[in-house]
Structure 1
Amino acid sequence: MMCSKLKKNKLFIMIGLLYIGLLLVNPGKALEAFNNSIYYLKEMFIILPVIFLLTVAIEALIPKSVIIKSFGKNSGLKGNFLAFLLGSLSAGPIYAAFPIGKTLLSKGASISNIVIILSSWAVIKVPMLANEAKFLGVDFMLIRWLLTVVAILLMAYITAFILKKKELQAHNDNDENTNSLMIKQEYCIGCGLCVRMLPEMYKMKEGKAVVAVTSMEEESVEEIHKTVQKCPVGAIQYTSKIEQN
């Protein structure tokens, strides 16, 4: 039990040990690092709730077909343009883009377009371009912007080429050759609608719905899809073998 907890929190333990080591070697730098960490944690607590609400809205309100058409593998140059636009017009620090990128990826966005969104979010946001032109000149900004766009496109397509044969499903460990049914606990509001519709497939646990079975028959697909469509917050995710292939 203790070993399991240590493994899950090994990153925090390592950071804590580094702080302790720095405190012993250089207390002044340790205090400065600690104050900077507190500042960024406060910023994250302000920004991340808004970002998580946005990801819930994307999950619940935007159909998967729209994401695939706009940002999917076959969206072409239009998808690249929309990815650049989304990243460039977005506000907030880069870590705010990761939950959105994960959500878009799980709904069918291509790896290359996710790379474009993250990269443009980080380095070519519109407010930053305006400040760059003000302090360094329009010519500098335009040349730097063009070279950055070329670099982002190259990085996006190289990344997609390298990862195209690998399973990249944001923290989804389900086997590709089996039916996949899951309820995203961070979105579930515990309304119990899915349990009432299909009690042999779902159950309530600690105020939230969970999947009650480990294997699913193909005959249940239609009923499962009904629960997916009726879930008010889009917390149920189902992919069959046929859909995956």
Structure 2
Amino acid sequence: MLEPTKLNFDKFVLVHFIIPLLLFVLVLAVLEYFHVDLWIAGHFYNAGLHQWPHKESWLTENVLHVGGRYFTYLLAAAVALCWLISLRADSAFFRYRRHLLFLLISGISGPLIIVLLKNHTHIYCPWSLELFGGDKPYVRLFDYAGGNLEVGHCFPAAHAGAGFTFLNLYFFLLLVKPDYKFYGLCFGLGLGMVYGIAQQMRGAHFLTHDLFALAVCWFSSFVLFMLFFRKQLQWL
């Protein structure tokens, strides 16, 4: 039998929810107030030529965007396969079947929430904005969008979210292999940042789009972890 790891409830919520939430709100407020989105995007946009030089480059488009998408699919398929194998009583993964189910569901939940938000938010991609040669107005996160604007289909960032969804590896390893939990954290953060930076270079997203995707993936994994493993959380 797999011995359950006991976690202090108060400390767990403080470290994994309250502090990250405060940091997220603070960083988002700073980015919005100081127009950091526009400042970063301006470094990737060629105003003289009215174009995004990296929009269709081999590295950012073919490797990190298209190739990254297939890499994410491959990782998701590997997780699904491991969970299916774990359903066999004679499998080496059998005792981890609940943990693998958490990994699978949490890996789907973040990107799904992001897609749902993208279909209802009125925030546009940089390459669509009048500021960068497009025809759409610049609408910040806390601006009033009005009733005449079309849905932007750009916020939060889906591609960065496909990387940040692997932040769930941190929660998975927290119980399965606690000494390796920060490797899971670094993998999810690193993959999401690589995807996000590539899309910023292409003009597809702002930094705040990526930050919001990170928050969605982290907090959705947190909530699901609380639901799946509440018995491991004790009032100590």
TM-score, normalised relative to structure 1: 0.27
- More strand by percentage: 1
Q: More relative contact order in 1 or in 2 (CA 8 Å, sep 6+)?
A: 2
TM-score, normalised relative to structure 2: 0.28
Structure showing greater Rg:
1
